[in-house]
């Protein structure tokens, strides 16, 4: 098993209380012709990821999470865990604009033994203050009211337009040291990630990067791994770098990952990921996205697959 979980120091910690590390995928969500989540294909994809050493971060950005209802997220998580997936390898996204929705999703994840929750800040209102964000996170923690809650803050200002400052994180850690477990830094700015590692990395605050392009740098500086869209399509390669980041060929492994990311980055990421899965899974239904997104089709779809094949890319076993 390439995703690692390490128990906290107390022997009295419940089985579900783990600290997850490694590479996780914000699992892409398949839809049927009526744009309903396709649970069968979803679980098949999750099992393929797990078999390739990847943990699961369902309901992330590349899961089209904000196009899913709260009920759909609850049902999909129930079906996933009911299929036998170990909840200690699952970190569902629970951050919503409405605090009550975040509380419901977070409580559901905790009660089902998930390793943690990945929590966006409320993202609709812009130019909110650290005080407002603090009250939001504090309200969730207080209302979930469960000592097993482990929150991984989700910092993605390029999309959410609401960022998480070092001062805010410090305040949250002081007030809720048990609940605030770490962060996914999707800023794309290594300087920001390095500041997080330097400020909090030695105090039990786990830093994940939001792209495998920064995985090697993150590991070399005390980070815990990556939560990356590309783990949906290149799980073996990314997991291999995580396991062998101290190897002499680590730079070469990183450069291969960077090359594949660059090819996908020429196109809208979610449709491109789904196009690749559709091709290698031989299932056109996988290409479907929920509006307002549109599928990658025609010349762009053909070009992506041709470029990937020319670069030696493959989704073995998919």
Taking only the tens place, the pLDDT of each residue in 110-147 is 999 999 999 999 999 999 999 999 999 999 999 999 99
Domain containing 56 equals: 4-248
Neighbours of 292 (CB within 10 A): 6
The encoded tokens of residue 215 equal 């995985």
* Residue 16 placed within a domain: yes
Is residue 14 over pLDDT 50? no
**Average pLDDT, integer, range 74-92:** 98
In CATH, what number is assigned to the domain containing residue 105?
Answer: 3.20.20.70
pLDDT given at position 5: 39
How many C-beta neighbours within 10 Å does residue 142 have? 11
**Mean pLDDT confidence for 198-217:** 96
| CA dist list (Å): 96 to 10, 61, 296 | 32, 12, 27
Q: Per the domain annotation, does 317 fall within a domain?
A: no
In a domain, 161, yes or no: yes
Which 3 state secondary structure label does DSSP give 248? coil
- For residues 37 and 295, is the Cβ–Cβ distance under 8 A? no
The two three-digit tokens of residue 137, written as one number: 């996170």
On whether residue 282 sits in a domain, the answer given is no
- The answer to the question of residue 45 being in a domain is yes
| Angle made by CA atoms 4, 252, 220, in degrees to the nearest 5 | 45
Asked whether the predicted pLDDT for residue 11 surpasses 70, the reply is no
**Number of structural domains in the chain:** 1
DSSP at 120: P
- CA pair distance 248, 87, nearest whole angstrom: 34
Are 140 and 99 spatial neighbours (Cβ–Cβ below 8 Å)?
yes
In-domain check, residue 311: no
Q: What is the pLDDT of residue 3?
A: 43
Q: Please state the φ and ψ torsions of residue 155, each to the nearest 5 degrees.
A: -100, 105
Q: Confidence class of residue 317 from pLDDT cuts 50, 70 and 90?
A: confident
- For 145-180, what is each residue's pLDDT tens digit? 999 999 999 999 999 999 999 999 999 999 999 999
Q: Is residue 235 situated within a structural domain? A: yes
Decide if pLDDT at 309 tops 70.
Answer: yes
Decide if pLDDT at 247 tops 80.
yes
Helix locations, the chain, DSSP H: 39-51, 70-82, 99-111, 130-144, 157-160, 166-175, 190-200, 215-220, 235-243, 250-264, 269-281, 298-310
DSSP string, 11-63: TTS-TT-EEEEEEEE-----B-TTS-B-HHHHHHHHHHHHHTT-EE--SSGGG
**Predicted local confidence at residue 17, as pLDDT:** 57
Residue 190 lies in a domain: yes
* Whether the bond into 311 is cis, omega within 30 of 0: no
- Per the structure block, which two tokens stand in for 318? 């998919």
**What pLDDT, on the 0 to 100 scale, is given for residue 63?**
98
* Res. 15: pLDDT tops 70: no
Predicted local distance difference test score (pLDDT) of residue 62: 98
Tokens coding 234: 């290149």
Phi and psi angles of residue 286, each rounded to the nearest 5 degrees, phi first: -65, -20
Q: What are phi and psi of 208, to 5 degrees?
A: -110, 140
């Amino acid at each position: 098993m390439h995703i690692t979980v390490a128990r906290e120091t107390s022997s009295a910690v419940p089985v579900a209380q783990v600290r997850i590390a490694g590479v996780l995928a914000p699992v892409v969500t398949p839809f049927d012709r009526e744009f309903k989540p396709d649970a069968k294909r979803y679980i098949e994809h999750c099992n393929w990821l797990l078999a390739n050493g990847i943990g699961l971060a369902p309901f992330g950005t590349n899961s089209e999470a904000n196009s899913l209802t709260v009920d759909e997220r609850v049902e999909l998580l129930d079906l996933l865990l009911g299929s036998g997936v170990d909840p200690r390898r699952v970190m569902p996204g629970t951050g919503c604009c409405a605090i009550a929705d975040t509380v419901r999703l977070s409580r559901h994840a905790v009660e089902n033994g998930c390793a943690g929750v990945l929590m966006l800040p409320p993202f609709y209102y812009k130019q909110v203050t650290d005080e407002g964000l603090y009250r939001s996170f504090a309200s969730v923690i207080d209302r979930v009211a469960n000592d097993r809650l482990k929150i991984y803050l989700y910092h993605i200002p390029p999309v959410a337009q609401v960022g998480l400052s070092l001062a805010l994180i410090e305040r949250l850690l002081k007030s809720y040291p048990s609940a605030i477990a770490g962060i996914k830094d999707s800023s794309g700015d290594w300087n920001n990630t390095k500041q997080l590692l330097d400020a909090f990395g030695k105090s039990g605050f786990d830093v994940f990067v939001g792209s495998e392009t920064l995985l090697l740098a993150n590991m070399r500086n005390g980070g815990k791994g990556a939560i990356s869209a590309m783990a949906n399509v290149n799980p073996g390669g990314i997991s291999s770098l995580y396991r062998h980041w101290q190897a002499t060929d680590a730079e070469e492994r990183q450069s291969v990952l960077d090359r594949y990311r660059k090819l996908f980055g020429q196109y809208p990421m979610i449709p491109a990921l789904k196009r690749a899965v559709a091709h290698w899974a031989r299932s056109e239904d996988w290409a479907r996205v929920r509006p307002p997104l549109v599928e990658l089709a025609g010349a762009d779809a053909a070009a992506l697959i041709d470029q990937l094949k020319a670069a030696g890319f493959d989704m073995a076993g998919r």
